[in-house]
Chains A and B, each alone.
Chain A
Amino acid sequence: MNRSFGKLLLDSLAALVLASFAMSSFTEAAVGGSRGGGGGARAGASGGAASARAAAGGGAQKNVQVNNSRADARTNNVRSTSVNNVNVERNVNVDVEGHRSCCGGWDNDYHPVATAAAVTGAVAVTSAVVGSIVRSVPPSCVPVNYGGMVYQQCGSTWYQPQGSQYVVVNPPY
């Protein structure tokens, strides 16, 4: 009894260990594949890979359009972001919906639509629901460059381009 119990124990333990190994090697393979070579951290030539991709810039990706129409609405509900520079004076006066408080940074072109429900609930006159996505904007819209992003302003409604589509956002100012 004792022995068979011990064996069972060993078996299940071995299975556990094997399973975790299998998992880790799978993860490694996935990571290696995406970086185009695997290898150790050192031989991975992350610099080379990064520069090659960076050098390609938009060029290689131009033919592929980003489509965020299936993204969960929660992804727009951003409370803060990482920062990219140490020495930039930051406006610390946190103002919800404010540009700097939430979504600064050259990498982050999300305009917060966090208060979508509140805004659409309170301002019933808004013709387009904040957060909704459209394929094109009315011809009367005017493009406006604000806060490092280009919007389309159509009266009180503001659109932000997302790939080939537009999302209705809260007015940036």
Chain B
Amino acid sequence: MVRVRQIWVLGLLAILLVAPSTHAQTPPAGAAPAAASAVDQASIQALKDMGAFLQTLKRFQVSTELTGERVLVDGQKLQHTATANMDVERPNKLRALMHSSRSERELIFDGKTVTLYTPAQKYYSTVEFVGTIGELINRLEERFGVELPLSDLFLWGTPAAPLDKIESAMNAGQDFVGEDLCDHYAFRQGTIDWQVWITIGSKPLPRKIVITNRADEARPQSVSLINWNLKPTFKDLVFKFTPPKGATKIEIVQLKTK
């Protein structure tokens, strides 16, 4: 009896093992031509429309919950999460609160001075900088290695987000993000695959962004859910950094090239 059962289990295993491979060997019909038509212009247009709309927003709040991944040396992946809240007034005022398990940081920009503040240690560093939020993003990245959350939001619709670098663009249908119905688009550029969910209707806002890093074979991916408040109630005061009692100013060191 036991023996009969063993045989049966083996038979089942054999079927399970064989079945998928026979399917895989059948080439999917029409796959090659679909892959060849790379850049769907309507999808590029959707990015343009979203960028143009984002540039019209003067004063808003945006928050994100991000899931990111680290790849360990042996290829195993670990996920982590972080959140960010931003109060924004274009062209040159911003307050961002970034929070993760390791740290809480604030970045405050009033158009003339940018401050990085770590509430846990009450340390802050300030740098003079006159320019727009988009220019600030570049400067922080290049000179200090500081990345702003959702910096794409400030670059789309400007020359800093060139659309001609996109090697593949497609409409992936519609999908819900929360309760919002969105158009879902997928793009490829360089070693980056990315997807964006844009709310349908007269306010094309990105509600979700997924970025897959193909530079590593483990393909670490980030998922950002984005929430919008286009009628914020914050005061202008939020863009002014006043050192809290007991706070210490510390040196910020520019990136060194090795």
Contact = CB atoms under 8 A, between A and B. Distances in A.
Interface of A: 5, 8-9, 12, 41-48, 50-51, 53-55, 57-58, 61, 66, 74-75, 77-89, 92, 95, 97-100, 103-110, 114, 142-150, 161-163, 173
Nearest to A164: B120
Interface stretch (B17-25, B33-41, B139-147): B139-147
Nearest to A103: B70
Interface string B180-211: 10000000010010100000000000010101
Contact of B178 (A5, A46, A53, A149): A46
Nearest to B116: A145
B70 A51 contact: no
Nearest to B179: A45
A8 B177 CA distance: 46
A145 B102 contact: no
A85 B152 contact: yes
Contacts of B123: 143, 145, 150
Contacts of B147: 84-85, 88, 104-106, 148
Nearest to A146: B253
B227 A83 contact: no
Contacts of B221: 82
B85 interface: yes
A77 B100 CA distance: 19
20 contacts: A8-B5, A42-B176, A47-B180, A51-B63, A55-B63, A58-B119, A80-B213, A80-B220, A81-B68, A84-B68, A86-B192, A89-B141, A104-B147, A106-B82, A106-B147, A114-B73, A143-B250, A145-B250, A147-B255, A162-B102
Contact of A47 (B150, B218, B225, B255): B225
A48 B177 CA distance: 11
B72 interface: yes
Contacts of B100: 107-109
B72 A79 contact: yes
Contacts of A145: 116, 123, 125, 250-253
Most buried by A among B68, B70, B105, B176: B70
Nearest to B211: A83
Contacts of A106: 82, 84, 98, 146-149
Interface stretch (B52-60, B155-163, B232-240): B155-163
B178 A47 contact: yes
A105 B218 contact: no
Contacts of A150: 118, 121, 123, 250
B224 interface: yes
B164 interface: no
B99 A57 contact: yes
B4 to A, nearest CB: 6
A5 B7 CA distance: 12
Interface string B217-258: 010111011010000000000000000000010111101101
Contacts of B120: 161
Contacts of B121: 143, 150, 161
B170 interface: no
A54 B73 contact: no
Given A82-B213, A88-B147, A109-B102, 6 more contacts: A58-B99, A81-B213, A83-B222, A86-B152, A87-B151, A89-B142
B118 A53 contact: no
Q: Which 6 A-B pairs have the closest CB atoms?
A: A47-B178, A107-B82, A82-B222, A82-B220, A147-B145, A54-B63
A16 B82 CA distance: 39
